[in-house]
Chain A
């Protein structure tokens, strides 16, 4: 028997009972659709988390000074300045480190002509903008020359620029007073939006770190009264670089084995991956529930195939009488079950993708239906067809032609 004939016979049998075939396939449609939609939504949620973290830089380490201890009470990280400018220069030489930037900050009032605004003024270097993937929206960012010269230049965050100059005015070239010192606005940083915690990333201003130390908040010459941001070359080495930096600092600070660090290194990737893990677990849970519905769909196929075998006993008898071998009959019914499941799978992929698209648009998530997921879903539905079609097909092939012919 030719393959084309098997397909033809199966297709015709299914089309003969269109409504029944559709309802049977519906179980698979819903199952596959649910799998596609839940996985897509899960991926979308994960991509959103990733996006949120990459706006801060997932391959970033934050090195802070140690905590001050007074009378057994430990203050928070950074309360005891232990990191030095030399430490920072040394970190720059560590393998796989791409950028290093200091960050010192204070909340200061900024005054424009007729408005004022209190914000976090950060003293830093141009590398900070690279680390945080932060381009300029207007004008330019800080330059190395400005840092070296201790120039009185400032880059405003989008929120600050709006608060001082309004949304329509370009503040570039204007003068603002920060802690009563006049600064020239050289640019406005691109808007980053809010953090997951509700903090406004754009409520900020940046000035050269040298200027900050000289004019805003002085410190000891040798120490950095803030943190060091380190960007590594790629996500995979973040942890390794963290360990290298830790070893370097312990060595430089002369900490003996077993002694506590007088600094701390935070890794944004860790937080990000924890969030991702929880999203992944949720996706897995939803997908397995969807998978169960696929199994239920398979049982529906088996059920209807058994009914079909009984209904068509006489047809099976006729086919066997004129020369159909048991395997021809088995193949025929198996082909019908697989065709049902596959059709359900393909329609389910379409329905699931559509549903995922709708939800993604609704929540403003990125839409992610990967070809791999589609392939797995279609393959799985074919497998369901084979598994649940096997028994009815076997039953059909075992019929005695004489009894089948006499079946009423």
Chain B
């Protein structure tokens, strides 16, 4: 890993994000400071309107801060253009969404291959890596299934395989259990805990305290600022550490 020991994988410093809604400027983030170390399992919590989605957008390189700095793996992200942001998303980040966001009528295997397609990887290499990623999440026997033929929990696991396939530094999960029943949710959190135990950095955004409890660290955002930054119960994470 290229990050020198001591400097965090993610550094958010004095980040402000202002949206212009008509004539009114809305401050979604008002000076946020967060450092996240490699290998961490962090939950970001907050009620709707707290600015946690905006924070996730910035963390996910979908959006740039109005002011402040965002260092990801040592690179200053806040100055990058759309192409460079896309490249960062492709190489450094993996995403898991609440609504899975898999391509319909496309096999699980092809969905997982997608990030590697945009990385320009030759078909044989990416196929092998996608199969390995699906096996890692326990879907080695569902390669040719379309999302519509999979359960919600399975779909979300395909999404996790897709997030892992490019060997990212950080996996960002936005309400990953939001569309799952309680059993699938439990399986999902167990999977995330396992991945965290394997050394993958996980940033989880949720409004559900029960879900957040799986993390080793909980950051509570309110009114565009970090209100609380504490250790989590980290059931799975504790076992790993």
Query: Contacts A319-B114, A319-B118 hold; do A16 and B105 have CB atoms under 8 A apart?
Result: yes
By the criterion CB–CB under 8 Å, are A324 and B118 in contact?
Answer: yes
Whether the pair B86, A402 counts as a contact (CB closer than 8 A) is no
CB distance from A332 to the nearest CB of B (A): 11
With beta carbons under 8 angstroms apart, the residue of A319, A326, A402 that contacts B57 is A402
Contacts A314-B101, A315-B103: A322 and B118 contacting too (C-beta < 8 A)? yes
> Which residues from A are CB-within-8-Å of B87?
323, 325
A14 CB within 8 Å of chain B:
no
Nearest CB on A from B127, distance (A): 13
Interface size on B, residues (CB 8 A): 27
Known contacts A2-B120, A405-B101: does B63 contact A322 (CB below 8 Å)?
Answer: no
A315→B122 CA distance, assembly (Å)? 22
The 0/1 profile, CB within 8 Å of B marked 1, for residues 293-331 of chain A is: 000000000000000000000110111111111111000
Q: Is the Cβ of B120 less than 8 Å from the Cβ of A322?
A: no
A114 interface residue per 8 A CB criterion: no
Q: Cα distance A402–B122 when bound, in Å?
A: 28
Our pick among A323, A326, A400, A402 for the contact of B90 (Cβ within 8 Å) is: A323
* Nearest A residue (CB) for B62: A402
Given known contacts A16-B105, A317-B101, A318-B101, is B118 in contact with A325 (CB within 8 Å)? yes
| B117 touches which of A5, A320, A325 (Cβ 8 Å) | A5
Is the C-beta of A214 less than 8 angstroms from some C-beta in chain B?
no
A401–B83 alpha-carbon span in the complex (Å):
12
Identify the interface centre among A321, A322, A402: most chain B CB within 10 Å of its CB.
Answer: A322
Contact, CB under 8 Å: B63 / A323: no
| Least distance between B231 CB and chain A CB atoms (Å) | 30
Task: Name the CB-closest residue of B to A321.
Answer: B95
Residue of B nearest to A2 (CB): B120
Interface: A19 (CB within 8 A): no
Residue B115 CB within 8 A of the other chain: yes
Asked whether, in the complex, the Cβ of B97 is within 8 Å of the Cβ of A405, the reply is: yes
Give a binary string over B81-110; 1 marks a CB under 8 Å from any A CB, 0 the rest: 011001101110001010001110100000
A335–B83 CA distance with the chains assembled, in angstroms: 20
* CB atoms of B101 and A323 under 8 A apart: no
CB–CB B120/A1 < 8 A: yes
B114 A322 Cβ-Cβ under 8 A: yes
Q: Which residue of B has the minimal Cβ distance to A325? A: B86
Residues of A within 8 A of B119 (CB): 323
Structural contact, B62 and A322, CB atoms closer than 8 A: no
Interface hub of B117, B119, B120, B122 (most chain A Cβ within 10 A): B117
Note all chain B residues with C-beta closer than 8 A to A1. 117-118, 120
CB contacts (< 8 Å) of A324 on chain B: these are 86, 118
Q: Is B162 an interface residue (CB 8 A)?
A: yes
State in angstroms the CA–CA spacing of A327 and B118 once bound together. Answer: 11
| Residues in B neighbouring A16, C-beta threshold 8 A | 105
Closest Cβ of chain A: how far from B12's Cβ, in Å?
A: 18
Give the residue among B86, B97, B114 with the most A Cβ atoms within 10 A.
B86
In the bound complex, CA of A325 to CA of B117 (Å): 12
Interface 1/0s, chain A 383-408, versus B by CB < 8 A?
00000000000000000111001000
Cβ–Cβ < 8 Å partners of A4 in chain B:
123
B65 to chain A, nearest CB (A): 14
Contacts of B103 in A (CB 8 A): 315, 318
B120-158 vs A, Cβ < 8 Å mask (1 yes, 0 no): 101100000000000000000000000000000000000
A315 to B83 CA separation, bound complex (whole angstroms): 18
- Compute how far the CA of A322 lies from the CA of B171 in the bound complex, rounded to whole angstroms: 12
Instruction: Give the residues in chain B near A315, CB-CB below 8 Å.
Output: 103
Within 8 A of A (CB), among B136-192: 162, 166
Q: A2-B120, A401-B62, A402-B63 are in contact. Are A320 and B86 (CB under 8 A)?
A: yes
B90 — nearest CB in chain A belongs to which residue?
A: A323
In the bound complex, how far is the Cα of B162 from the Cα of A16, in angstroms?
A: 23
B120 and A323 form a contact (CB under 8 A): no
* Bound Cα distance from A405 to B87, whole angstroms: 18
**In the complex, which residues of chain A have a beta carbon less than 8 angstroms from the beta carbon of B97?**
321, 405
Q: How far is the CA of A2 from the CA of B103 in the complex (A)?
A: 19
Q: Which residue of the partner chain A has the closest CB to B121?
A: A2
**In the bound complex, CA of A318 to CA of B117 (Å):** 13
A28 to chain B, nearest CB (A): 26
| Bound Cα distance A35, B136 (Å) | 57
* Measured CA separation A318–B86 after assembly (Å): 12
- Which of A5, A323, A327 meets B89, CB within 8 Å? A323
Within 199-213 of B, Cβ neighbours of A (below 8 Å) are at none
Chain A residues lying within 8 Å of B83, measured Cβ to Cβ, are 325-327
Q: A320-B86, A322-B162, A400-B62 known; 5 other A-B pairs, CB under 8 Å?
A: A2-B120, A317-B101, A325-B83, A328-B118, A401-B62
Chain B residues close to A by CB (< 8 Å): 57, 60, 62-63, 82-83, 86-87, 89-91, 95, 97, 101-103, 105, 114-115, 117-120, 122-123, 162, 166
24 contacts between A and B (CB under 8 A): A1-B118, A2-B120, A5-B117, A318-B102, A319-B118, A320-B89, A321-B95, A321-B97, A322-B118, A323-B86, A323-B89, A323-B90, A323-B115, A323-B118, A323-B166, A324-B86, A324-B118, A325-B86, A325-B118, A326-B86, A328-B86, A400-B62, A401-B62, A402-B57
